[in-house]
Structure 1
Amino acid sequence: MDCLFCKIISGEVPAEVVREGERTLAFRDINPQAPVHVLVVPKDHHPNFAALSADPEVLAELAAEAGRVAEDEGVAESGYRVIFNTGAGAGQTVFHVHAHVLGGRGLNWPPG
């Protein structure tokens, strides 16, 4: 499988890891869109959010880890956003489901 995030999880590609759980990994986005921009991924490959919905336990763990990242990064109280892009039309460029945790600046609505 030629999946960038699988390669990061295996250690084949370096990343700045901020948290690691039994079934998740959180690392800084290489093209941050906010002062805090961390990706939280399941260690098992799921191509997108729709596919992950078949595994609610991992989905719950991703949500919990996103909250922990916000706490660790100091944006839990000021506010943060968690985003799942699903499909190319929504801006998904790596087809391994991932939650974007964004914070540290005002986040306008509606998003881009």
Structure 2
Amino acid sequence: MGQRLGLATALLGEPEALVLDEPVNGLDPEGIRWLRQLLRAHADAGGTVLLSSHLMGEVAEIADDLVVIAGGRVVATGPIDTVTAGHPTLEDAFFALTGPDSAGAR
């Protein structure tokens, strides 16, 4: 309920952009679904949602465009199908882009 209350408070001012860091942490499955629907509705209404998360499955479920950062550098950007091209999942793409053998890793 704390996550929901915090987000509801942030939305009171009808912001154009939302910046969220790990927003599904601590939410139950119902809360996660509620948050996905809320963020999608905000984006569909013309708003911007900037989401930071380590949960690749969750990101793949809700993101339209991605920015992958490794070692303080942007190593990939674009729609999810562009970033994951040649990889079965977003998680596989992430590790290929950020692993020790990648050009983006330090």
TM-score over 0.5 (shorter chain): no
- Normalized against structure 1, the TM-score is what? 0.31
Task: Return the structure number with greater relative CO, CA threshold 8 A, min gap 6.
Answer: 1
Please identify which structure carries the higher helix content.
Answer: 2
- When Rg is computed on C-alpha atoms for both structures, the one with the higher figure is 2
- Normalized against structure 2, the TM-score is what? 0.33
